[in-house]
Structure 1
Amino acid sequence: MEPPSTMEPPSDIEWQTVQTANGNEFQFGFKSTEQSTSQTRTKREIAREDFDISVRWEPKTWYDWVEDSGDVRSRAAITQHCVCDYRGTNYRYVLLIENTEHYNYGFWDESGDCYSLDTYRNGQHYLRYNSDNPAIVRITGS
């Protein structure tokens, strides 16, 4: 994947604003051109096992993609990720992932807050958030 030429996420991202369990606002998004027309889960997806994986994803520069391996790739089906300190207008951090299997993910930052992301289609997904402790330290999925 080629990085964009600016510090802003691509302009064709559709964003939805939601809240964490702790009441903090964040946004998740996907490219409108990649939106799935069907949200029906297959038998294979329903049978997938839940997971809880410890990670250490520190904020880096924009689009500094990290190739994933081990449990993150094999159990969580995330092939690459990036936590970006992009200092946007309303949100300072962006988490980007690319996945190969449908999961309802939870991305936990170092403060203990969780950002939910239901990936009903495979591909790239985006989260924008604010945190005093922005490193992602845990991924859960079901």
Structure 2
Amino acid sequence: MTNQPPSTTPLPDNNGIIWTTRKTKDGKDFLHGWKRPVEGTDLGLAQGVQREDNPVDPEADNRENDDLPVVGDEKWIATDPAVQDQGISRYALYFNGHPNVYSYTLDFTNTKGWSFSFIDESGDKYGVTTIQNGDHYLKYNSTAPTIKFVQREP
């Protein structure tokens, strides 16, 4: 038994991706996944920074208004320069075909760390902490899935 809160209990490894269950600002479950850390990375640390007591400040001024719309496939799209300055270089946002689980998947590549929030059209916020730069994945449900704001905490 681990000392991690239930919201950070890792799910089974899937294609080298480690998944944790998180809560949105509105209290809905979503998944955050990332590639298994490179050799020598402390996996416990990587999972520990996903705890709920590492919130992203909802009042921070470093938000970028950038529509990341749902597209028809998993094709990567380069982000606008302002979002790249936040540390997100590319994304893919798509309907995942499994609406009974999580309807949408947001794949993103970060070049800076560590904490990010993605705020959808409904105003719900998906906060994650990225222990390593690279590809990350969010699976979520929303009636307004387009990401309107990307926010990074230094």
TM-score of Structure 1 vs Structure 2, range by shorter chain: 0.7 to 0.9
Which whole-Å CA distance do the structure 1 matches of 2:129 and 2:109 have between them?
13
**Structure 1 residues 86, 28: CA separation in 2 closer, same or farther (over 3 Å shift)?**
same
* Residue 35 of structure 1: how far off its partner (Å): 7.9
Which whole-Å CA distance do the structure 2 matches of 1:90 and 1:122 have between them?
27
1:66 to 69, 77, 88: 77
TM (norm. structure 1) is 0.78
- The residue number in structure 2 matching 1:31 is 35
**Structure 1 residues 35, 96: CA separation in 2 closer, same or farther (over 3 Å shift)?**
farther
In the TM superposition, 1:112-131 aligns within 5 A as 112-131=123-142
- The residue number in structure 1 matching 2:52 is none
Which whole-Å CA distance do the structure 2 matches of 1:81 and 1:104 have between them?
16
Task: Give CA deviations for 1:21-79 in whole Å, capped at 9, x if unaligned.
Answer: 21111000011254872559xxxxxxxx96210011111123121112311112x1111
**Structure 1 residues 104, 87: CA separation in 2 closer, same or farther (over 3 Å shift)?**
same
Which whole-Å CA distance do the structure 2 matches of 1:35 and 1:50 have between them?
36
User: How many aligned residue pairs are there?
Assistant: 124
Moved more, 120-129 or 63-72: 63-72
Which whole-Å CA distance do the structure 1 matches of 2:106 and 2:61 have between them?
21
**Structure 1 residues 90, 122: CA separation in 2 closer, same or farther (over 3 Å shift)?**
same
Instruction: Please provide the CA RMSD for this pair.
Output: 2.2
Where in structure 2 are there 5+ consecutive unaligned residues?
A: 1-13, 47-59
SS of the residue aligned with 2:25?
coil
TM (norm. structure 2) is 0.73
